[in-house]
Structure 1
Amino acid sequence: MIRFILNNKTITTSKHSGMTLLDFVRYEQRLTGTKIGCREGDCGACTVLVGSLEDNTMSYQSITSCISPLGNAHGKHIVTVEGTNLKNKLTTAQEAMKANYATQCGFCTPGFVVALTGFALSNSENNLSNALDAISGNICRCTGYKAIEKAAIQTVEHLKNKKQDINFNWLIENEFIPDYFKTITKRLSDLEARDRNQPKGKFVSGGTDLYVQQADHLADNEVHLIAEKDYLKGISIKDETCTIGTNSTVSDLWNHNALNNYFPNLKKHLKLVSSEQIRNMASLGGNFVNASPIGDMTIFFLALNSEIGITSEDGPDRNLAFKDFYQGYKTYDLKEGELLKDIHFQLPQKNSYFNFEKVCKRTHLDIASVNSAIQITLINNTITEAHIAIGGVAAIPKYLHNTSKFLSGKPLSSKTILDASDMLQSEISPISDVRGTNDYKRLLARQLFFAHFTSIFPEQFNLNDFVEHA
């Protein structure tokens, strides 16, 4: 049985755990404020909040319910737009949308209201940039986004006296959420929501890749949900090695203070990865085994020269260099009964530099045409170690063995970079598709390679250094 709290109602259901949370909310509970839009997690019309209880503290995140399995709601508090309503008056977020004429047809409005309410409930610093991040996965096609931005500005203004930690009483008094939220912590702790016996079936964590491709199939067949498996969670740092459980999300990286210290541009890089709703739910392990040639986080961790830990039901655990994991298009070194457990890498030192670049048809929430990452170590202007990965130019997420090796031991100079760029072109084999022609992808690969050096060493290089070569 699946047990959770939906708004102010305790749910116990035997419905198939692989059906989408969206379909359960709309068709089983008749809560039709949560809209069906793209069914791919792109439009945000189906946004709901997921509240989790840990150490007697509630935390809330927004997700897109159209690509989330119902079973992942087990033991959680799910909030739809109906669950944000007050009696006989608008909430602060709803009033902000109304006051700024930020709604016309109204189809997208519930998703925006839920996302802004989630921002109010979050531990994010209260500023406009974070508020806009919170609604970055919501699309409106008729209002004009400036009106919605003004609604976000008004919401931020109303939150100026809120403490950064979640304070239900303050939010209730200031009409952001209804008063039943005060009861949720105890009700969730009392809810009998122990780990369920999972059936044999396809492993599913966040589901954001799988449910875009196979939602109907997963709704009708057995799934083995692993999102709540503790041994696949967590981020730890020991002896300059970072180990990240494969159930960790992009948001877990985003919010990790130590990782942000080691990677000063981490949030800038991660902002290029999908939307906040998807970053809150998509697991790293799912991204890796989806094996997309343009997987953003795959390229990210290839450039960190990572190793992956693999666990098995029957055999011993093993480690494998991530760059050796992919064997061909959508194929990889993972045997029957094996599961990715973690990914680990040496943290960059003071003389190491990391950069991630991505080009797609729109800046955010889009699949890359080409993406690339680099880690480079420099001592006395000599490159002592380099690791370069690039996506969209081969059948697999491509670690550039030859180019990385070529750079090692070379002086950091325009000539070295230009020569390495020629080496890069010999290692890639892009094909023409909807995201660009072969020639276009080769051009992007070259320009992103140059961009790594102009971004990391802006005082030493600029794009003019490479114009003649281009």
Structure 2
Amino acid sequence: MTTRPLQFLRRGQPVALGNVPPDRTLLEVLREDLGCTGTKEGCGEGDCGACTVVLGEADGHGKVRFSAVNSCIRLAHSVDGMALWTAEDLTEDPLIQPVAASAASAGSTTPPTTHDSTLHPVQEALVQCHGSQCGFCTPGFVMSLFGMYQNRVCQGQAITRAQAQQDLSGNLCRCTGYRPILDAAQQMASLPRVAVKEDELLQKLELLAQSRQAQEPHFTYIAPTSQAELLAARAAHPQAQVVAGATDVGLWITKQHRQFAQVLDVTRAAELRRIEDTPEHIAIGAAVSLTDAFARLVAEWPSLAEFAHRFAGLPVRNSGTLGGNVANGSPIGDSMPLLIALGAQVVLASHARGERQLPLEDLYTGYRQNVMAPDELLVRIVVPRATPHQTLKAYKISKRFDDDISAVCLVVKLKVEDGQVREARIGAGGVAATPVRARQTEAALQGRPWGEASVQRAAQVLQAEFNPISDMRASSAYRRTVLANLLQRLWLESQGHPQASLQQLTQEAV
């Protein structure tokens, strides 16, 4: 089989690497092939953020999109045709240039402070705020801050403490030095401004794309650019490992030492990268990142904002896709209970038979098993739009608030009119071998008064509806108890109870 060269931009210049296996990670290429040892391997599973790098690609609207990602679980060939920055590149990239003082100060009320011009403002802010301790995690923090700097500071946006905490949720500091790092996140905006010269970078990306088109076909890492080509490749290579963001497949490589001779990447197919709205539905392509998918869902249902933020860390959300999460079918994946509660449908497609559509909860037949034929792929998720009188609540219970996997996930959508529950849809995760719909509990609520007695009866039904396992995250009894308590918490919140959750407790109440 043929492996064509891997090409990307680094420090404004094209890098070409031959004979890169399809299952080689980006971190391995950086550290072992290019000698970029500034990027660290901490956990090897996308949890700690020490390996964070920033990718740049054209967004189709004349701008560059900057995304912080975990290089330890990112397949190297997935960055083909993109721009790449590591912590070692910020002072070496000729495309990163000072911004004129008038432009840099626009929208800022903080007077610039002096800094060492040999450092990027992100790095200088960490120095000034004493944001590095043992230093192992520092390159990853630098790169997450760089992504924040390009996406926020260079766009004239202020960085609040809360926003910094959210954007750094995928980076762990083993020395517990978060305060000075958060200080640095806010300090970097006050330093003399620099920015990537996007117009020049876009030109270089276009030239790189033209060079790649002239190359021989790639038979070990297949990345078609249209849905038709993707489905044809799936039919021709049913044995190829399908990947989207590879946030799970990356773990199979780094932790289980699995090897894949051929990979089919769905993320280059243009149709799968789109979000399309109609008056009745939101159609989210299977290759849309979790970051973009949740942004659209939060715009439709603002109550999902915290739930969306708590889905892994930002680097994982930037790489992972909604379709990949759904197709993977993990019983503790958070997007499926949400989509089940929203009444989402999945669209499956094959080269020979075309498309078919079914309710998401009918996709799964067992633990990480589904109804897809060997030549089928999930191509989009169709979500009904919000309607009046609907209430949507999503709850995630995990040992750690940020960047952790759910022990229990419960999402409830209710339509209450004139004190009666007209519609109830409930999705649950962590309580069965697959993501599930709580049909018995829905029936216990539907048509009943929205009152404390009805909720308590429904909570008892929900507690008995599933028989979850006990594992490292929670016991079976704990999971059942939490399910019932979350439904009662929804009732308290609907009645305006001021302290229905820890997040709502005031300092005085604590």
| TM-score, scaled to structure 2 | 0.83
> Could you tell me which amino acid in structure 1 is paired with residue 433 of structure 2?
A
- 1:10 equivalent in structure 2: 14
- SS class of match (1:303): helix
The 8 Å contact of residues 326 and 332 in structure 1, kept in 2 or not, is answered as: yes
Q: 1:62 pairs with 48, 65, 68, which one?
A: 68
Within 1, Cα distance between the matches of 2:399 and 2:498?
Answer: 30
- 1:136 equivalent in structure 2: 169
- 1:360 equivalent in structure 2: 398
- 1:184 equivalent in structure 2: 201
Q: In the alignment, is residue 146 of structure 1 matched against residue 175 of structure 2?
A: no
Q: In the alignment, is residue 208 of structure 1 matched against residue 247 of structure 2?
A: yes
Q: In the alignment, is residue 248 of structure 1 matched against residue 288 of structure 2?
A: yes
> Could you tell me which amino acid in structure 2 is paired with residue 10 of structure 1?
P
Within 2, Cα distance between the matches of 1:97 and 1:292?
Answer: 38
> 1:459 Cα shift?
5.7
- 1:77 equivalent in structure 2: 83
- 1:162 equivalent in structure 2: none
Within a 5 Å distance, the mapping from 1:28-39 to structure 2 comes to 28-39=33-44
> 1:91 Cα shift?
1.2
> 1:198 Cα shift?
5.0
The 8 Å contact of residues 4 and 193 in structure 1, kept in 2 or not, is answered as: no
> Could you tell me which amino acid in structure 2 is paired with residue 208 of structure 1?
T
Residues 461 and 23 of structure 1, relative CA distance in 2, 3 Å threshold: closer
Within 1, Cα distance between the matches of 2:159 and 2:499?
Answer: 34
Residues 155 and 117 of structure 1, relative CA distance in 2, 3 Å threshold: same
Gaps in structure 1 of 5+ consecutive residues: 159-172, 464-470
Residues 94 and 143 of structure 1, relative CA distance in 2, 3 Å threshold: farther
Q: 1:95 pairs with 124, 147, 151, which one?
A: 124
Identity, in percent, stands at 29
The 8 Å contact of residues 356 and 372 in structure 1, kept in 2 or not, is answered as: yes
Task: Single out whichever of 65-74 and 399-408 deviates more from structure 2.
Answer: 399-408
> 1:228 Cα shift?
1.4
Q: 2:343 pairs with 305, 309, 314, which one?
A: 305
> 1:74 Cα shift?
1.2
Within a 5 Å distance, the mapping from 1:156-305 to structure 2 comes to 156-158=189-191, 174-175=193-194, 183-191=200-208, 192-194=211-213, 197-199=218-220, 200=237, 201-215=240-254, 220-256=260-296, 259-305=297-343
The 8 Å contact of residues 298 and 308 in structure 2, kept in 1 or not, is answered as: no
- The alignment of Structure 1 onto Structure 2 pairs a total of residues equal to 445
The 8 Å contact of residues 453 and 461 in structure 1, kept in 2 or not, is answered as: no
The 8 Å contact of residues 400 and 427 in structure 1, kept in 2 or not, is answered as: yes
- SS class of match (1:16): coil
Deviations along 1:133-177, one digit per CA (max 9) or x if unpaired, are 22211111125211111111212444xxxxxxxxxxxxxx72466
Gaps in structure 2 of 5+ consecutive residues: 94-116, 221-236, 502-510
Residues 261 and 105 of structure 1, relative CA distance in 2, 3 Å threshold: closer
The 8 Å contact of residues 354 and 376 in structure 1, kept in 2 or not, is answered as: yes
Q: In the alignment, is residue 120 of structure 1 matched against residue 149 of structure 2?
A: yes
- 1:167 equivalent in structure 2: none
> Could you tell me which amino acid in structure 2 is paired with residue 135 of structure 1?
L
The 8 Å contact of residues 463 and 481 in structure 2, kept in 1 or not, is answered as: no
Residues 455 and 74 of structure 1, relative CA distance in 2, 3 Å threshold: farther
Task: Single out whichever of 310-319 and 34-43 deviates more from structure 2.
Answer: 310-319
Deviations along 1:178-211, one digit per CA (max 9) or x if unpaired, are x7x6632111011123495454311101000111
The 8 Å contact of residues 18 and 221 in structure 1, kept in 2 or not, is answered as: yes
> 1:214 Cα shift?
3.1
- SS class of match (1:132): helix
- 1:104 equivalent in structure 2: 133
Deviations along 1:249-300, one digit per CA (max 9) or x if unpaired, are 22103443xx434211232220110011111110112111222111101111
The 8 Å contact of residues 46 and 72 in structure 2, kept in 1 or not, is answered as: yes
- 2:32 equivalent in structure 1: 27
> 1:131 Cα shift?
2.5
The 8 Å contact of residues 62 and 276 in structure 1, kept in 2 or not, is answered as: yes
> 1:126 Cα shift?
2.5
> Could you tell me which amino acid in structure 2 is paired with residue 146 of structure 1?
R
Within a 5 Å distance, the mapping from 1:418-429 to structure 2 comes to 418-429=456-467
- 1:165 equivalent in structure 2: none
The 8 Å contact of residues 71 and 225 in structure 1, kept in 2 or not, is answered as: no
Within 2, Cα distance between the matches of 1:359 and 1:143?
Answer: 23
> 1:63 Cα shift?
0.3
- 2:504 equivalent in structure 1: none
Deviations along 1:387-422, one digit per CA (max 9) or x if unpaired, are 001111111112111111221111101111111111
Deviations along 1:6-59, one digit per CA (max 9) or x if unpaired, are 233312233123211111111111111111110100111110011011233211
> 1:363 Cα shift?
0.2
- 2:376 equivalent in structure 1: 338
Deviations along 1:402-455, one digit per CA (max 9) or x if unpaired, are 111221111101111111111112211011111111111111111122223333
The 8 Å contact of residues 7 and 82 in structure 1, kept in 2 or not, is answered as: no
The 8 Å contact of residues 63 and 281 in structure 1, kept in 2 or not, is answered as: yes
- 1:42 equivalent in structure 2: 47
- SS class of match (1:185): helix
- SS class of match (1:212): helix
- SS class of match (1:265): helix
Residues 402 and 150 of structure 1, relative CA distance in 2, 3 Å threshold: same
Residues 319 and 116 of structure 1, relative CA distance in 2, 3 Å threshold: same
Within 2, Cα distance between the matches of 1:230 and 1:404?
Answer: 38
- 1:161 equivalent in structure 2: none
The 8 Å contact of residues 274 and 365 in structure 1, kept in 2 or not, is answered as: yes
The 8 Å contact of residues 322 and 335 in structure 2, kept in 1 or not, is answered as: yes
The 8 Å contact of residues 103 and 143 in structure 1, kept in 2 or not, is answered as: no
- SS class of match (2:72): helix
Within 2, Cα distance between the matches of 1:273 and 1:92?
Answer: 29
